[in-house]
Every structure is written in C-alpha cells, then in structure tokens.
Structure 1
Amino acid sequence: MTTNHTLHTATLKNNCPECFANNGLEFTFSQKETAHKLYVKAEKTIDEKLYCNSCNTIIYPVNWDDDIERVYNYNKKQVQPKSSSARLTKLGLGLIALTIVLVSALIYFALKATQL
C-alpha cells in the first residue's frame, strides 16, 4: 500500500503565469511511502507541484518566472523529508523475535543432547 505524505505547503503571492491572479498559487512538496507486511519505507524522491487555485491548473517549471523560482528554492529548503530507511512493522519485529527464540532453543537443545 502506497501513501502520499504532504511534507510542506506554501501559498504564494506571485502572479500565476496562466491567469495572472496573484492569490491562488500554492506549492506542495510530498513524499511517497510504501507499506509492506514486514516493513515500511519512504522513497528518496520528493514530488513538487505548483498549483493555481484560481484557474485550477498545474503550473510546470517551464512556465515559472524568476520570482517563482526564488520562492521555490526558499520553500524547498524548508522541506524536511522522511527517512528513506526501512522501518519494521510489528509483524516484522515479531518474526525476528520468534526466529531468535527458535534458534536459541535449537542451540540449547543441541548442546544439551551432546552432553548426554
């Protein structure tokens, strides 16, 4: 199961390159996280989107002007991405614990059998 987490959202006062409204632009930085049965892992890549709420369009980087680019660079520094290392779920931790207990029991009984 994949979920999309919003890391940072910023409202801009810049003019939209499409409709020229100055109160509808919004940057959204998000990161995908994939949950498996045994572990959860976030992707390294951060998805960035500039959306205009006035004309309901996505503004692609080709259409950005220098002012939008500066605001983008500032807001990109504000993003704190999730760690991309894998985290074990309760099921994963339980299986590891069960494996350790079973291996320990096998070693114990093997040593006890050799002493007889």
Structure 2
Amino acid sequence: MITKKHLLHTAKINNNCPECFSTEGLEFSFSQEERENKLYSKASSDIEEVLFCHNCQHTIYPVNWTEDIERVYEYHKKLATPKNTSFKLKPLAIIIIVSDIIAIGALVYFFSS
C-alpha cells in the first residue's frame, strides 16, 4: 500500500518565533495523507499541521505557541480545505466487479434452465 502526502495549504506568518524570536521565517503547512493500492484510494480524515521556522531551522510544537500564533493558526486552518475522504475505486477494481457480476449472471442463467 502506497501512502502519499498532499500539501493542502502553506502560509508564511509574521509572528515572533518562540525559539529565536525572529519575525521572519515562520511557516504553517497543512497536509493530508492518502492511502492507495491497485484497487482503491482513500484520503485520511486527519490533517497534519506543522509550524516550522526557516530562520532557526526548528519545528515549533503547539506547546510553545503563543496566543497570537494560535489565532493565526485557527485562521489558516479554515483555509486548508481537505480532500474528499470517500472511497475511490480504480479501473481495475471496476473491471473485476463487472466481470464477477457478468459471470454470476451467466451461471444463474445457464443453471436455472
């Protein structure tokens, strides 16, 4: 099973970094995982949020966020529209299902007479 990560939204923010106190370099990124195999693909309902400072090269965890960062996070979280989490069949699965239905129909037709 292959797992792909889709980037939903990124945003550079001008808040102070809790580690290096720089006002430049903080970036939010929102991503979502999608699991895929030969028969189907399905996106996860979980959205991963990461706050990274490009100035000090640290990931800032939510424990260290200030109230200002929390407010900016809530705003950008609304902008990150997730992919549809429904079950999506691939062409191979559709071919298998249709051929099974035809085979069962043929068996019922020939053995019912």
- Which interval holds the TM-score relative to the shorter structure? over 0.9
Q: How does 1:1-116 map to 2 (within 5 A)?
A: 1-111=2-112, 114=113
Where does the alignment leave 5 or more consecutive residues of structure 1 unmatched? none
- Give the structure with the higher percent strand: 2
Which deviations, in whole Å up to 9, do the C-alpha atoms of 1:47-85 show, x marking residues without a partner?
000000111110001111111000000001111111222
Larger Cα Rg: Structure 1 or Structure 2? 1
Task: Provide structure 2 residue ranges, at least 5 long, that are not aligned to the other structure.
Answer: none
Identity %: 51
TM-score (normalizing by structure 1):
0.92
Residues 7-37 of structure 1: per-residue CA shift (max 9 Å, x gap): 1111101111111111100000101111022
Point out 4+ residue stretches in structure 1 off by more than 2 angstroms. none
Cα distance in 2, alignment partners of residues 79 and 93 from structure 1: 32
RMSD (Å), alpha carbons: 1.0
Aligned amino acid, residue 71 of structure 1: V
